Amino acid sequence: MPAYNTIAFHADRCDGCGKCMIACAQAKSASDSPRRARLEVLADDAGRFELTMCRQCADPECVQSCPAAALAKNAATGVIEWDHDKCIDCLLCTVGCSFAGIALDEAAGHVVKCDQCGGDPACVRACKPGALEYLTMARIYDEAGSLEDLFVQGLSACQGCNTELIMRHTLRRVGPDTVVAAPPGCVPGMGAVGYNGLTGTKVPVFHPLLTNTAPMLAGLKRVYKRKGRQVTALALAGDGGAADVGFQSLSGAAERGEEILFLVIDNEGYMNTGMQRSSCTPYGAWTTTTPVGRESHGKSQDAKNLPLLMVGHRCAYVATASTAFMADFYLKLDRALQASKTGFAYLHVYSPCTTGWRFPSKKNIEVARKAVESNFVLLWEYTPAAGLRLTRSVDDPVPLSEYLVALGKYRHLTPEQVAHLEQHIAENVAAIKRHALAEAAAPPASTRPGISSAGALQGPPASQA
Amino acid sequence: MEQTHYLIAGASHAALAAMHAIRLVDADGSLTVIGRDRELPYSPTLLPYVVSGRTDPQRAFLRDHEYFTRARAAYRCGHALVRIDPANRVAELDDGSRLRFDKLLLATGARPVIPPIPGLDAVPYHVLRTLEDALRLRAQLPQTRRAIVLGAGLVGMHAAENLSKGGARVTIVEQQQQVLPGYFDAQAARIIARAFERADVTIRTGARALAIEAAAGGVTLRLADGSAVSGDLLLISAGVTPVIDFLADTPIQCDRGVVVDATMQTSVERIWAAGDVAQAASFYGAHPVLNGILPNAVEQGRIAGMAMAGDRALEGFRGAVPLNTYSYYGQHAVSVGSGAAPPGAEVVESSDAESARYLKIILDEGRLHGIFAINTPIDPGVMWQMVRRRLDLSAVRDRFLAQPRTMGRLLMSSLLR
Amino acid sequence: MAAVAPLPSGRVLACDGNEAAALAVALARVDMVAVYPITPQSSLVEYLAKFIADGRLQAELVDAEGEHSVLSVLQGAALAGARTFTATSGPGLAFMFEPYLRTPGMRLPIVMSIVTRDTLTPQCVWGGHQDAMSVREAGWVQMYCETVQEVLDTTIIAYRVAEQRDVMLPVNVCHDGNYLSYGTARIELPEQDAVDTFLGAPDVNWHAALDPDRPMAVDPLTGGPAGAGPATFVRYRRGQCAGMHRALDAIRDAHREWARLTGRNHAPLIERYRMEDAECAIVTLGSMTGAAKDAVDEARAAGRRVGLVKVKTFRPFPATDVADALCKLRSFGVVDRSVDFAWNCGPLYREVVTALQGGTRTATSQSFIGGLAGADLTVEHFQRVIETVGQMREVAGPRDTVWLDAQE
Ligand SMILES: Cc1cc2nc3c(=O)[nH]c(=O)nc-3n(C[C@H](O)[C@H](O)[C@H](O)COP(=O)(O)OP(=O)(O)OC[C@H]3O[C@@H](n4cnc5c(N)ncnc54)[C@H](O)[C@@H]3O)c2cc1C
């Protein structure tokens, strides 16, 4: 089943101005009365807002309830279309809908429903606070869904593994003209590089040393470039190999601008070898080499900010991403891929580890989301021309406790340790904001020379809070 | 013998909802749909509009052949199920062919009840359940000057309006004291009846037919009060009854319809029933009920399909809720839930004869028991959810009573965000 | 392929060993050079960088951030089909050790010069064979050069050996830091055509490629406690040993062919110098051989039956040739420019003695260690060696190693 564009409602941004309804009534009923609108914003007694509008259901009950074949879901757009000519005004569709997404318009004398204005919804245009958002990521999902999964089935990752999700999505996107290098870690550990003469991928794959992923790919890529062949050199590395023992070679390749897409899957430690500390392990975290005992209470240093270090290399592209925000991840993957054709592209994906962080496997995406929502990790992107830009607002984070409480590795934290983490997060946010602000003060990126080489950034901008 | 994994008898709402649910889970299991009618699937609900000419039936089929092809299902139309052998899981059709099935759904709907009025079998009359019925009636329309509609249920009322609009003088004869009994109370029924009367339709409630005779160019209906009604066209719309003849001599338990459990399974394993044919739990009482309405057919069909395909997302049937949306002469009436207020229930009613507006809300222990509205906008789907989820409205009672639509929308939006 | 016309091919010129190696690399038309500076190798890669900058060598140059990456870059390049080169010394080789260990198992025909240097500690930047000797069991082919000309010729020959399909192994061409790296000599450059004929097109990744047109997993996990794994692993290991052994023939054949094309005859495995009717001999490795030959000439002039055996190919070890050359002698001495810590002797000495095991007669022998940390090994040193060896008569127990530069 394909994915479709959709109108999202961010209740927290809504101020109840009602302009969306007026815009809808004007566009659809040539009326200024909000009662003629096909959506309704309602305030509850606590002043919170709710939206009533057709959700363009995947398996629409209204369609099944129509005796006259007057409703049908358009397979191309996903919009549930209503045919005035066929409608017999029986209103049975309104019985089928639990959301009042289709309702009688008394003045018109028939049911009405949202049709997304053919792809340019008037309500969204009218919504200044951005509470209504037309999400057009469906194209990306559909494209990705139609791409071949280039890893074999049956990789032996832990149940609910986020890393497997990341690498499968990544390689689908990056495609078959790729050489994958996966240094020791969970990616080879689950069999991606193959085993005893068998391979784990459908593209060429290599299991480099923990220390030499970047230069090894650099040599390969240079040769293909010399031969005039378009081959993507893709690293799927862990945070340990990238931030610790492999950092020198990563830094060297980045500095030389080797045309590599270097993707780091950050699970905050050496999870494959049994959950040891890495320099990306956060302060306070339990690992098997920063155990909790009488004398120590988890890691006593803060995590190294590897992606920010990569910004210091002025890579062609640097971004952080999370599987809880797949649309954002896909956009960044596209941009990274594009940037890797002319320079070093670095993508840092936060990847909660159910096994090593001690939480139930079904919670993986939730944990990933909370990490972002609490500002424990920040989502941003950087190019030399456009600078650093937050791709998700860091204002109004959820309390850190909502994130920490989910994870066994923080179970032992004392209030002082939590305070330390909060302080560290605040500093991190401030540092990233400084980077972002410095850029905002500069002239608009598009007028600066060099932006054209960052052609990857010409796609639609990610949602900006 | 021909084999099919899923056999669905019937090709209307319950059948199609079941097929859809099966295919969401099992894309390949062989599936056969048999329909008694020769056409592609259509809805009986549509038929009054076919009679009036508003709807071209050729454009209103619920599915096309391509749908069945894409779903890898065989659609066999023009064949009725005449017998089943549950022990051997064999179904026999009216052409003598036999089919072995693993799982069978009975979705054969209902047929009109023909009341035992002396003389009825000797005169020509119409019913309205099939497309054939509708086309026959439509063909009769130009010659019709005076029509008698026996029974003021939904079918009768729809038909009466459309016959009247087609130019006939119509008399509705209803045994009970009001039109649309079961869906609306007397007061609401009066508001609806007034719209008919204003359009010159005669409504005779509390009128019991004693006998029927042929008369010059038509029939005469003799009523218990001694009066008579004559017309050149007689439509029998005195209710429906499940189509279950083919279940005679089977162990499948039937009462007024096929008795089913919460997953729509009959008393015999691997055989399910859904829609107008089924008698399932009531939302309001212990005794299983028939609930011959379209939303009920869709819901039960989906549940049966999920059960047949082993869909683990299946939740059992929560009980039949009477529901109706009724549009007549450009006006709109909605009924959701039961109008029989239990003892201690709060009943809030308001009406305005002038604007023909009416609203009645029954709250039982802070929960919505039933809501009935004429020319007053409410969202029936939202109300249905509130009833069946037994949403506690105590905290928002006042606002709900004042603005049922707004409150309903707020509650459902926040619940299903 | 476009000719590298501006290179002075087919000419005579004077240059040092580092430049000679660089010229050989250019003549071999490598596709990829990765470099990192380290004494005494630095000028070698500087020459290459300059050749590339001037367009005289059309190769990809990667200025890596360390030797570890240098060799890693070459691995990636080789897996993409490139003919590759780098050079290193001492600590650089030590830093490179992780990918160095892995290269032979992947059967990548990478050629690397080791411009030999003594290893730390004591901190030292001068010549000695300790670096190359420290990695002698890693599985690379190792050949030691005596002269600047031999550096040039051997570097070209190395590609032919490395890329021979029944060998497919990386090759170290070792030349002595200081003495050959900076010592200038007259050399003859071969014609480019001759080199092209000799080497043919690069044939590097037919067996293991990272190429989307030929997708495969290169070097997946192999082994495990049971199942097919261990047997697969053994197959690879034995294959590697067999390839190493076949390199002896490959080296011999390549030298023969090179001699046919250029007229220059270098002994491929060992060189026997004035060994006819010799009773005693000196065994040498690398640039010390020149001084040793002078000493032998003098001794011969004085009527002593002394000869010399130079070991050129140290890995694989030409045991049969060595045994054959030495087994009939009364006594011999082996001069090493490095030490074998385990046996308190020179590593070449131990190899030579091992090669003679099982023979019918065993010559009396003595290990000499000299020329460490850049010290010169002079004719006088070798006169002392000849003196000592000449006086050894009976077969006795192990003899204490003689340290030539000791200040006793
Ligand atoms: C005129 C009219 C107006 C209506 N208006 C409304 C309304 O406004 N709102 C509302 O909710 N409901 C209304 N209904 C009721 C609604 O149409 C039914 O509840 C609904 O169609 C039931 O669906 P079903 O699938 O159970 O049965 P049906 O729709 O009756 O379909 C039965 C199917 O079974 C097939 N079949 C029958 N016997 C056999 C056999 N022996 N072998 C094989 N196939 C067989 C038939 O061909 C048909 O395909 C109306 C009905 C009529 C007739």
- Ligand 1, CB cutoff 6 Å, lining residues: A 90, 92; B 9-15, 34-37, 43-45, 47-48, 80-81, 107-110, 128-129, 154-155, 158, 243, 246, 275-277, 292-295, 297, 324
Residue C325 lies in a domain: yes
Span from the CA of B242 to the centroid of ligand 1 (angstroms): 10
Residues A263 and A291 in one domain: yes
Residue C116 pLDDT > 50: yes
> For residue C66, what is the nearest residue in chain A, using CA coordinates?
A249
> For residue C85, what is the nearest residue in chain A, using CA coordinates?
A219
Residues A127 and A193 in one domain: no
Please give the backbone phi and psi of residue A105, each rounded to the nearest 5 degrees, phi first. Answer: -100, 105
Contact between C197 and C160 (Cβ < 8 Å): no
CATH code for the structural domain at B330-416: 3.30.390.30
Which residue type is seen at A28? K
Number of structural domains chain A divides into: 2
Residues C279 and C142 in one domain: no
Contact partners, residue C156, CB within 8 Å, separation at least 6 = C24, C27, C28, C190, C195, C198, C199, C258
Quick one: tokens of A80?
């549930």
Alpha carbon separation from B390 to A100, B300, C294 (Å, rounded): 18, 20, 110
Span from the CA of B107 to the centroid of ligand 1 (angstroms): 9
Span from the CA of B111 to the centroid of ligand 1 (angstroms): 8
Residues C319 and C180 in one domain: no
Percent over 70 (pLDDT), chain C: 96
Residues A48 and A180 in one domain: no
pLDDT score for C227: 85
- Give the pLDDT band of residue A462 (cuts 50, 70, 90): very low
As a whole number of angstroms, the distance between CA C282 and CA C290 comes to: 12
Q: Which residues form the domain of A366?
A: 150-464
Is A12 near chain B, with CB under 8 Å? no
Chains that touch A (3 or more CB pairs under 8 A): B, C
Number of structural domains chain C divides into: 2
pLDDT score for A272: 93
pLDDT, one tens digit per residue, over C322-367 is: 999 999 999 999 999 999 999 999 999 999 999 998 777 778 999 9
Nearest CB among A40, A48, A95 relative to B409 is that of A40
pLDDT score for C120: 84
The residue whose CA has the least distance to atom 1 of ligand 1 is B155
pLDDT score for C141: 98
pLDDT score for B285: 87
- Give the pLDDT band of residue A139 (cuts 50, 70, 90): confident
Q: How far is B177 from chain A (nearest CA, A)?
A: 25
Mutate to test the pocket of ligand 1, among B7, B12, B241 (most ligand atoms within 8 A of CB): B12
Residues C244 and C322 in one domain: no
Q: How far is C211 from chain A (nearest CA, A)?
A: 6
pLDDT score for A213: 98
Residue A144 lies in a domain: no
The DSSP line for C6-39 is TS-TT-EEEEEHHHHHHHHHHHTT-SEEEE---T
As a whole number of angstroms, the distance between CA A21 and CA A105 comes to: 14
Say if strands A380-383 and A345-350 run parallel, antiparallel, or are unpaired: unpaired
pLDDT score for A445: 42
Residues A344 and A376 in one domain: yes
As a whole number of angstroms, the distance between CA C142 and CA C161 comes to: 11
Is C34 near chain A, with CB under 8 Å? yes
| Contact between chains at A95 and B24 (C-beta distance less than 8 A) | no
Residue C408 lies in a domain: no
Quick one: tokens of A448?
């600066």
Residues C292 and C247 in one domain: no
Residue A219 pLDDT > 50: yes
Output the average pLDDT for chain C. 94
All CATH 3.50.50.60 domain ranges in chain B, comma separated: 2-111+241-309, 120-238
- Give the pLDDT band of residue A318 (cuts 50, 70, 90): very high
pLDDT score for C392: 86
As a whole number of angstroms, the distance between CA C278 and CA A90 comes to: 118
pLDDT, one tens digit per residue, over A38-54 is: 999 999 888 899 999 99
Nearest CB among C65, C212, C221 relative to A194 is that of C221
Query: In chain C, what residues touch A249 (CB-CB under 8 Å)?
Result: 65-66, 68-69, 72
The residue whose CA has the least distance to atom 6 of ligand 1 is B45
DSSP bridge partners of C283: C309, C334
As a whole number of angstroms, the distance between CA B60 and CA C199 comes to: 79
pLDDT score for C408: 56
Query: In chain C, what residues touch A218 (CB-CB under 8 Å)?
Result: 62, 73, 76
Q: How far is C222 from chain A (nearest CA, A)?
A: 5
Q: What is the mean pLDDT of residues C194-205?
A: 97
pLDDT, one tens digit per residue, over A16-26 is: 999 999 999 99
Residues C67 and C199 in one domain: yes
Q: What is the mean pLDDT of residues A273-277?
A: 94
Chains that touch B (3 or more CB pairs under 8 A): A
Nearest CB among A196, A204, A226 relative to C216 is that of A204
Residues A22 and A166 in one domain: no
| Contact between chains at B24 and A61 (C-beta distance less than 8 A) | no
| Contact between chains at A231 and C75 (C-beta distance less than 8 A) | no
Q: What is the mean pLDDT of residues C43-55?
A: 96
Residue C169 lies in a domain: yes
Residue A416 lies in a domain: yes
Residue A119 pLDDT > 50: yes
Residues C246 and C331 in one domain: no
Residues C252 and C356 in one domain: no
Residue C250 lies in a domain: yes
Closest CA to A137 of A13, A8, A265: A8
Span from the CA of B131 to the centroid of ligand 1 (angstroms): 11
Residues A403 and A445 in one domain: yes
Residues A83 and A181 in one domain: no
> Where among C262, C278, C300 does a domain terminate?
C262
Domain at A271, CATH number: 3.40.50.970
Nearest CB among C32, C70, C220 relative to A198 is that of C220
The residue whose CA has the least distance to atom 29 of ligand 1 is B12
Q: What is the mean pLDDT of each run of 10 residues along chain B (417 residues)?
A: 96 98 96 95 94 90 96 95 96 96 98 96 95 94 94 94 90 96 91 96 95 91 94 96 94 97 97 98 94 97 98 95 94 94 94 91 96 95 96 94 94 84
Q: How far is A223 from chain C (nearest CA, A)?
A: 6
The residue whose CA has the least distance to atom 27 of ligand 1 is B109
By three-state DSSP, how is residue C5 classified? coil
Does chain C touch chain A (at least 3 C-beta pairs within 8 Å)? yes
Is C55 near chain A, with CB under 8 Å? no
Residues C283 and C307 in one domain: yes
Residue C214 lies in a domain: no
Optimal mutation site among A171, A195, A247, interface C, most CBs of chain C within 10 A: A195
| Contact between chains at A94 and B381 (C-beta distance less than 8 A) | yes
All CATH 3.30.390.30 domain ranges in chain B, comma separated: 330-416
Quick one: tokens of A112?
């009405």
Residues A173 and A93 in one domain: no
Span from the CA of A85 to the centroid of ligand 1 (angstroms): 23
Residues A283 and A391 in one domain: yes
Domain at A113, CATH number: 3.30.70.20
Quick one: tokens of A232?
């993507």
> For residue B296, what is the nearest residue in chain A, using CA coordinates?
A65
Optimal mutation site among C103, C106, C210, interface A, most CBs of chain A within 10 A: C210
> For residue A43, what is the nearest residue in chain B, using CA coordinates?
B410
| Contact between chains at A94 and B46 (C-beta distance less than 8 A) | no
* Triad B22, B23, B27: Cα angle to 5°: 125
| Contact between chains at B325 and A61 (C-beta distance less than 8 A) | no
Is C110 near chain A, with CB under 8 Å? no
> Where among A92, A107, A135 does a domain terminate?
A135
Report the Cα–Cα distance between both ends of chain C, in Å, rounded: 60
C248 half-sphere exposure, CB direction, 13 A CA radius: 14
pLDDT score for B416: 77
Chain A contacts to C (CB-CB under 8 A): 176-179, 188, 193-209, 211-212, 214-224, 226-227, 231, 248-249, 251-253, 255-256
Q: How far is A255 from chain C (nearest CA, A)?
A: 9
Residue C326 lies in a domain: yes
Percent over 70 (pLDDT), chain A: 94
CATH architecture of B2-111+241-309: 3-Layer(bba) Sandwich (3.50)
Q: Where are the beta strands (DSSP E) in B113-178?
A: 146-150, 169-173
Alpha carbon separation from B318 to A260, B283, B384, C148 (Å, rounded): 58, 6, 12, 95
* Length of chain B counted residue by residue: 417
Query: In chain C, what residues touch A214 (CB-CB under 8 Å)?
Result: 69
Query: In chain A, what residues touch C65 (CB-CB under 8 Å)?
Result: 248-249, 251-252, 255
Residues A117 and A223 in one domain: no
Residues A356 and A296 in one domain: yes
Query: In chain B, what residues touch A113 (CB-CB under 8 Å)?
Result: none
> Where among C230, C262, C294 does a domain terminate?
C262
DSSP classification of residue B2? E
Quick one: tokens of A238?
């862990």
In C201-317, which ranges are continuous DSSP H helix?
228-262, 289-301
Say if strands B202-204 and B169-173 run parallel, antiparallel, or are unpaired: parallel
Quick one: tokens of B61?
């089929």
Q: Which residues form the domain of C137?
A: 12-209+238-262
> For residue C79, what is the nearest residue in chain A, using CA coordinates?
A220
Residue C281 pLDDT > 60: yes
* Sheet of C306-311, strand order: C270-273, C306-311, C280-284, C331-336, C364-369, C402-403
> Where among A83, A104, A135 does a domain terminate?
A135
Superfamily of domain B120-238: FAD/NAD(P)-binding domain (3.50.50.60)
Residue A300 lies in a domain: yes
Q: What is the mean pLDDT of residues C122-142?
A: 96
Output the average pLDDT for chain A. 92
The residue whose CA has the least distance to atom 38 of ligand 1 is B108
As a whole number of angstroms, the distance between CA B415 and CA B382 comes to: 11
Q: Which atom of ligand 1 is nearest to the CA of B275?
A: 26
> Where among C227, C262, C297 does a domain terminate?
C262
As a whole number of angstroms, the distance between CA A396 and CA A362 comes to: 26
Query: In chain B, what residues touch A52 (CB-CB under 8 Å)?
Result: 409, 413
Residue A318 lies in a domain: yes
Residues A38 and A166 in one domain: no
Q: What is the mean pLDDT of residues A269-280?
A: 95
Optimal mutation site among B16, B22, B410, interface A, most CBs of chain A within 10 A: B410
The residue whose CA has the least distance to atom 20 of ligand 1 is B294
**A144-153, A398-407, C75-84, C141-150: the lowest-pLDDT one:** A144-153
Residue A114 lies in a domain: yes
User: For A373-405, b where at least 16 C-beta lie within 10 A, e where not — what string?
Assistant: bbbbbbbbbbbbbbbbbbbbebeebeebeebbe
Q: What is the mean pLDDT of residues C388-406?
A: 80
pLDDT, one tens digit per residue, over B396-414 is: 999 999 999 999 999 998 8
